[in-house]
Amino acid sequence: MKPNYLNILFLVALALFISNCAQIGTLSGGPKDVTPPKLLEALPELKTTNFNSSEIVLRFDEFITLKDLNNQLMVSPKLATKPDIAYNGKKITIKLNPSELLPNTTYRFYFGNAIVDMHESNPLPNFSYIFSTGNTIDTLKIRGTVENALLKSKERDIVVGLYFDKQLTDSFAFKQTPDYLTRTDGTGQFEIENLPSANFKMVCFSDKNKDYLYNGTDIEQVGFIKDSFNPTTDSSFKITLFKEIPSKTFIKKTIMNENGRGMIIFNQETNLKMKPFSDQIAKDLYLLNNGIASDSSEFFYRNQTDSLWLIANYGQSNDTHTDTLQLRVPKLKPRNKRILSIKGNISSGKLKYNDSIKLYCSQWIDTSKTRLNGIKLISKTDTSVNSSPLKLSYTSANTILIHRKLKPSASYTLVVDTSSVWGYNSTNNDSTVIPFAFNRKKDLGHLSLKITFNKKQDYIVQLLNESNTVVIERNVSFSLSSSNTATITVQDLEEGNYKVRIIYDDNSDKTWNTGQLIKKIYPEKIIVLEKAVKILPDWDIEEEFILKE
C-alpha cells in the first residue's frame, strides 16, 4: 500500500504549528519608566506678578509624591509661617497667608528633588515655583563654589545663606535663618536666582541638625564673605569652609566599656592630664595617652564594680579646668558576648621597613593567665623563625612587642592560638592568623621636592598620602637675602600617590590657624598642588613646582 504523502505532510505541519503555539514566553511590562513628572498647569501661573493668592495648585502629567520635603524645600525670602503643602494624585497644593508676603518682592519655592513620580521615584530636578507681589520678577542671581579649607575638596550639601544687611549683629548667623538660601550640589557649586537689588551678607555652613542656623564650633563648619555686597548679573564667589576653634574646652562624652576600656572625648584638642581620685585605685588604672595633646583620652581599668573616680585637668593655656569625674562601671554581659580582639601594626599585608611587630589588644592584658608561647611566627622562606621561640614583652597594658629580626625578602604568618591572650573579666581571644611581608629597603622610594614660592614669608609644607593623612611636615622660611626656592628631601616613602599641601604661615607660629566668623578672620591660606607626586619602589623622584598665586 503506497503512503499518502499529502496526509503525512499535513500532519508534520500541524505538529510544528502546535509546538510553536505551546512555547512559553516571558511577559514583559515594557521598558522601565525613567521620565520625571512634567508640570502641566500652575494656578496662578509660573512667574505671576502682583500675586495675592492664598493657594497655589500645581498639576502634573502623572501621579506624584513628595520625598524628603522638609530638607528639600527652600522658600526665599523666608516666610513667617511655614506654608501648608499637600499632594493628592497628580496635584500639589500650597496654602499660605498672603498678608505675610512683602510688597514688591519676588518669592521662590525651590523643591529641589522632592517631587517624584509615584511608581519609579523619578525626581523632577531643581523645580521652582516663582511669583512676585510687585509688577516685575527680580532677575539678579549669584553663583559660586564652596571648598574645604584643608583639603581644597568641593563640599556638597552645604547651606549657602544670604541675609539682608539691615543692622545685623556680629552673631546674626547663630540667631536668624537666612532670607535667601540654597545648598551646594555634588560638585560644591551653588546658585541663588531671582534676587532683588539690595545689600546682603553671605554665610555658608554644614547645618548638621537641619535648622538653618550656624550652631557653632564643635558641630558645624562655616565659611563667609567679609563684606556685604549687592548682586549683579555675574556675581560669583569662592568660599572656604573651615571649622572654628572653640573658645571654651569641655567634655563632650565619656565612654565606659564592659571590657575594661574607657574614653573621655573633648570638643577640641586639649592638653590633658588625668589621675585617679585616690591612690588606692592607681594600680587598677592605666592611662594610654596621658599628657599628650589630643581630643580624646583612653584608659583601661580593672577590679572596679561600681564607679570609677578620676580627676581630669584640661584646657588651653588661658582656659584650664579641673573636673572630678564619676564614671559608672557597666555590668558584665554574658561570656559569649565578650571576646578579646587582637590586631597588629600590619597594614595591607605589609610591615613597615624597620618596624617591629606589635599586637594591640582590646583589653588590659592579664599577664598571669596569658600564654605567650601561643603566639607563633611561621615562614616558608625564613625557616629560622620556625625552630626558635619568640621573645616577647609587654610595652603597655594592651600591647605585646615581638622581638624578632625579620628578613626583607621573606613572607611570614603570625598566629595567635585561641585563648593565648587573656584580659581582665576573664575574656580571651579567638584564633588569629595574620599573613604579611616585611618591607624591604628597595620597596621604598625617595623624594626631592623643589618649590619656588611666590613671596618671602614662612610656610608649612606637608606631604599627604592617599587617605589624606600627613606623613611628612616641614617648615620653610626665607631671609631677605635668600632666593624664594626651597628643596625638601624625604627618604623611605612607601609606594603610592601623594599630595603636596602648602600652608601660608602668616604669623610664623609653625601651625595652621583656622578662621573666626564673628571676628571676620579668614583661615590661613592653603594650596594643594594639582599634580600628584607618584612614589615608586627604589626610585629617586625629583619634582619641581612653581607657585604662581
Cell of 100: 505675610
Confidence of residue 461 (pLDDT cuts 50, 70, 90): very high
Buried b (16+ CB within 10 A) or exposed e, 310-335: bebebbbeeeeeeeebebeeeeeeee
CA angle 307, 304, 344 (to 5 degrees): 115
| pLDDT: which is higher, 541 or 258 | 541
Whole-number pLDDT of residue 15: 59
The grid cell for 481 is: 637675602
pLDDT in tens, 362-382: 999 999 999 999 999 999 888
Of the chain, the percentage scoring pLDDT greater than 90 comes to 65
**Mean pLDDT of all residues in 226-234:** 89
- Torsion 130-133-134-135 (CA) sign: positive
CA distance 106 to 93: 20
Q: Tell me the residue type at 510.
A: K
What residues contact residue 519 under an 8 Å CB cut-off, 6+ apart?
none
**Alpha carbon distance 526, 201 (integer Å):** 24
Lowest mean pLDDT segment, chosen from 1-15, 284-298, 522-536: 1-15
Residue 237 has pLDDT above 70, yes or no: yes
Q: Specify the pLDDT at position 259.
A: 82
What's the distance, Cα to Cα, between the start and end of the chain in Å? 105
State what percent of residues in the chain have pLDDT above 70: 93
CA-closest candidate to residue 59, choices 69, 44, 75, 47: 44
> How much is the mean pLDDT over the chain?
89
311-368: pLDDT as tens digits: 988 887 667 888 999 999 998 776 555 688 999 999 888 888 888 999 999 999 999 9
State pLDDT tens for residues 245-263: 887 888 889 999 888 999 9
> How is the beta sheet containing 200-205 ordered, strand by strand?
180-183, 159-164, 200-205, 222-229
Which distant-in-sequence residues (6+ apart) come within 8 Å of 505 by Cβ? 457, 458, 459, 460, 475, 511, 512, 524
In the predicted structure, residue 502 carries a pLDDT above the cut 90: yes
Question: In sequence order, what are the beta bridge partners of 347?
Answer: 350
Where does residue 80 rank: exposed (0-12), middle (13-18), buried (19+ CB within 10 A)? exposed
The pLDDT score that the predictor gives to residue 536 is 94
Please tell me the total number of residues recorded for the chain in this structure. 549
pLDDT in tens, 80-138: 899 999 999 999 999 999 999 999 999 999 998 899 999 889 999 889 999 999 999 99
The whole-number average pLDDT for the span 261-283 is: 88
Which of 361, 380, 351 lies closest to 420, judged by CA? 361
Cβ atoms 536, 444 nearer than 8 A: no
Average pLDDT over residues 156-162: 94
Q: What does the alpha-carbon distance between residue 467 and residue 245 come to, in Å, rounded to a whole number?
A: 24
- The owner of cell 564643635 is 218
Angle at 50 between CA 48 and CA 52, to 5 degrees: 95
Residues forming a β-bridge with 110: 74, 128
Q: 440 in helix, strand or coil?
A: coil
* pLDDT tens-digit map of 395-428: 999 999 999 888 877 889 999 999 999 998 888 9
Work out the angle at residue 140's Cα, subtended by the Cα atoms of residues 136 and 146, and round it to the nearest 5 degrees.
150
Q: Is pLDDT of 17 > 70?
A: no
Q: What is the C-alpha to C-alpha distance for residues 336 and 412, in angstroms, rounded to an integer?
A: 31
Nearest by Cα to 66 from 96, 92, 47: 92
- pLDDT at residue 176 tops 80: yes
Interval 20-48: pLDDT, tens: 554 554 455 567 778 999 999 999 999 99
For residue 33, the model assigns a pLDDT of: 74
Which position has the higher pLDDT, 125 or 64? Answer: 64
Integer angstrom CA distances of residue 57 from 49, 53, 105, 315, 498: 16, 11, 20, 57, 55
Q: Are the beta carbons of 303 and 285 closer than 8 angstroms?
A: no
pLDDT band at 268 (very low <50, low <70, confident <90, very high): confident
**Distance separating alpha carbons of residues 70 and 21, to the nearest angstrom:** 55
**Over the stretch 463-479, which tens digit does the pLDDT of each residue have?**
999 999 999 999 999 98
Predicted confidence (pLDDT) at residue 1 exceeds the cutoff of 50:
no
Looking up cell 626651597, which residue turns up?
Answer: 486
pLDDT of 10 > 70? The answer is no
